[in-house]
Copies of this chain bind each other. A is one copy, B any other.
């Protein structure tokens, strides 16, 4: 493995070499981890990916695929022949195969499972019983356990023989049927008399993970437990594997990057996804936005008459909608975060609503004054200044309220507020903004 800086400069060099048509890159890629390789592939345009890919060995390939973002993995696999894919899949560990299998052609998967050895195909089928946001699917089976009848000396002897996998800070004690009984800090194990039974040292803590937990909950537990890994148990208490703090980082990064993508109205897509695929995915976000935009147009259409008579309304109306939109998205952002962390609940929702409305009111008054001052200089129409001031305050208040209640309602009916919240919010602030502004104008100006 290499440092971040080395990785980035190696990436730049590699990019230049590949652009020139050089595909053998033994020197700079020495010591590259699968993550380093994944980083390189994700930054390469599609055509260069395939040339670089062909220089790698099959066992390396599967770990690189597993380390990639979901979409990049899918794009790369779509470039490969069925025979290529099968070779990679057969050379890969079960953990890697689980990551890859979702994007393989269905027909290929059936044949593949038959070709695996019984142990691997068992593990794979176990994993596939869980959904792709459940811990059981991605659990790492490489775990150190000893039987409850073992002595400290036996456990130590086994440790001596093998290199410990990273993030192993304790060994797990199990019964004959592989049920988890407790864990022993490695340091404690080393410091204990060799003829002691391991059960004398084992601590049973609540810090275990259930295989049907979500990945995000599991990450939260590992993060707060002060250990490098936690055991993952089947429903009946049987030890399934482990989940490490490094796995938690990956889960968090994926979670946050998806949220950021959704706020930018795009899926978490590969940088160089094929044009048609990208266009299709983004079209759905644009289509939803178009409905919002037409809703706003429809409201303006209702007030055609007054706009025709006072064209300044058309000039100023985007201001009302836009200030409402920003106010709403400020509140929305805080509310979504509070819901995601669990810090926002029915008991403090009212207090938050109270505060957000006050904040919006203060800013509404402030910016209404500024905007109406500019308006009165620009258009010399005192009524227009009054109307835009009122519309701004009203729209910003409704925006703040919507910023709380939209995500809370979405959350209650089980829709991720980060996905749908801001679209609904913009629709409301546009519609309300235009309606109040043009509506009061048609009362007062005509």
Spell out A's residues near B (CB within 8 Å): 1-5, 7-8, 11-12, 15-16, 19, 33, 35-36, 39, 42-45, 156, 159-160, 164, 166-167, 169, 185-187, 190-191, 206-207, 217, 220-221, 223-228, 245-246, 248-249, 252-253, 256-257, 259-261, 263-266, 269, 271-273, 275-276, 278-279, 282-283, 285-287, 289-290, 292-294, 296-297, 300-301, 304, 307-308, 311-319, 321-323, 326-327, 329-330, 332-334, 337-338, 341-345, 347-348, 351-352, 355, 358-359, 362-363, 366-367, 370-371, 374, 378, 430
Contact = CB atoms under 8 A, between A and B. Distances in A.
Nearest to A39: B343
B323 A286 contact: yes
Contact of A263 (B39, B185, B260, B286): B260
B363 A282 contact: yes
B319 A314 contact: no
Given A315-B304, A319-B294, A326-B285, A264 B266 contact: no
A71 to B, nearest CB: 11
Nearest to A378: B301
The dominant DSSP class at the A interface is: helix
Given A252-B253, A283-B363, A355 B264 contact: no
Given A39-B342, A272-B355, A289-B322, 7 more contacts: A3-B207, A164-B187, A167-B228, A249-B252, A261-B333, A279-B363, A318-B430
A225 B307 CA distance: 63
Contact of A224 (B35, B220, B256, B334): B35
B341 A286 contact: no
A296 B320 CA distance: 12
Specify how many copies of this chain sit in the oligomer: 2
B318 A191 contact: no
B319 A293 contact: yes
Nearest to A18: B347
A337 B367 contact: no
B342 A11 contact: yes
A294 B372 CA distance: 12
A124 B279 CA distance: 54
Contacts of A45: 348, 351, 355
B297 A315 contact: yes
A358 B275 contact: yes
Contact of A260 (B8, B191, B224, B256): B256
Given A286-B326, A333-B264, A217 B4 contact: yes
A330 B206 contact: no
Contacts of A311: 304, 307-308, 314
A355 B345 CA distance: 44
Contact of A297 (B169, B275, B316, B359): B316
Contacts of A319: 290, 293-294, 296-297
